[in-house]
Amino acid sequence: MSSFFSSFKLDSVSQRFGAWSGAAAACAFVILWGSSAIVTRWALDHGSASAVLIARYGIALLVLLAVIGNPRRWLPAPGTRKSVAIAGLVMIAGYSVCYFESMSMGITPGMLAVVLGVQPVLTLLLLERRFTLMRLCGLLFALAGLVMVVWQSLMRTGLDAAGMAFALGALVCITAGSLLQKRVQQSPQQVLPLQYVMTLLVCLLFAQMQPLRWEMNWGFWLPVLFLAIVTSVFAQLLLYRLIQSGNLVNVTSLFYLVPAVTAGLDFLLLGNAMSALVVAGMVCILVGVVVVHRKPSRLSVR
């Protein structure tokens, strides 16, 4: 009997540790990903989208290979390389090109955040045939909060047709790419090198369609280094681990928190005050994400 209770306590402790470690990984991802939004616009002010992407993923690939170390772990398992490459082409290459190109065409980060905010709802509808009404309401409540946070940015956005097309392309790529990446049952370190090689090839092809321009100063290289090391190595590894181990709808709902984190960092680091609407929107996002992550009840919709 004592052995039963001791094993039960150990299981309970391990479950709590796993829950806490998962929450810590989610918080770290949101902070790192949210902070990268601040430097993306900075990088584009000093170089073209293709130049930023080539430098970003070239540096990220070198850092990633150095972190992995053993060359035998640079490639996915035989028989899975095609599916891994396709997932990387969609989720990383396609998403990055569409994201940066939409911003370079004048789509504000706020408008882009709202367009990409549809992803958790799409993922819910595509993956879960039966889902709770509260779960759907939580996603929609968080989306409403997202609109409140970026409302001022939305009012400044001109509806450029080409820019909106790229924004919608980014939405399709991140949604489809997340679904494809969920099927990959290998460690992130083993799949990312091949995916970054494929992404670099796409970026090099993309560079043929526009001028390759960059300024040889810290205004270009500092944000590029941040995007390469912080976002494309550490945050991307965290994202892949979250996708691999968690519910995909729950993981994608974390992206609702990114604009709120960006607004908070903008206030803390740059001193730009947040309006009451932004604060209210952040509260709505937090409430919505908490509702999404709650255990499902019996009431569900088809």
Question: What proportion of the chain, given as a percentage, has pLDDT over 90?
Answer: 20
* Partners of 214 in beta bridges: 47
pTM above 0.85, yes or no: no
Whether 54 shows a pLDDT value over 80: the answer reads: yes
Whether 6 shows a pLDDT value over 60: the answer reads: no
Q: In three state form, how does the secondary structure of 75-87 look? A: CCCCCCHHHHHHH
The 10s digit of each residue's pLDDT in 101-136 is 887 787 776 667 777 777 777 777 777 666 677 777
Contact between 123 and 248 (Cβ < 8 Å) = yes
- At 223, is the pLDDT very low, low, confident or very high (cuts 50, 70, 90)? very high
Helix 218-225 and helix 2-44, axial crossing angle in degrees, nearest 10: 160
What's the CA dihedral at 251, 255, 260, 261 to 10 degrees?
80
- At 38, is the pLDDT very low, low, confident or very high (cuts 50, 70, 90)? confident
Residues 166, 170, 172, 177, CA torsion sign: positive
The C-alpha atoms of residue 77 and residue 100 are separated, in whole angstroms, by 31
Q: Which amino acid is at 88?
A: G
Residue 156 has a pLDDT of 60
* Token pair 């990088």 in the structure block, residue: 43
The C-alpha atoms of residue 155 and residue 99 are separated, in whole angstroms, by 20
Whether 196 shows a pLDDT value over 90: the answer reads: yes
Mean pLDDT of 158-176: 82
Tokens of 38: 């601040």
SS3 content of the chain, % helix, strand, coil (to 5): 80, 0, 20
Residue 274 has a pLDDT of 65
The C-alpha atoms of residue 188 and residue 239 are separated, in whole angstroms, by 9
Residue 44 has a pLDDT of 83
Residue 299 has a pLDDT of 47
Residue 4 has a pLDDT of 37
The C-alpha atoms of residue 207 and residue 65 are separated, in whole angstroms, by 24
Q: Which of 100-104, 136-140, 150-154, 220-224 has the lowest mean pLDDT?
A: 150-154
Beta-strand pair 300-301/131-132: antiparallel
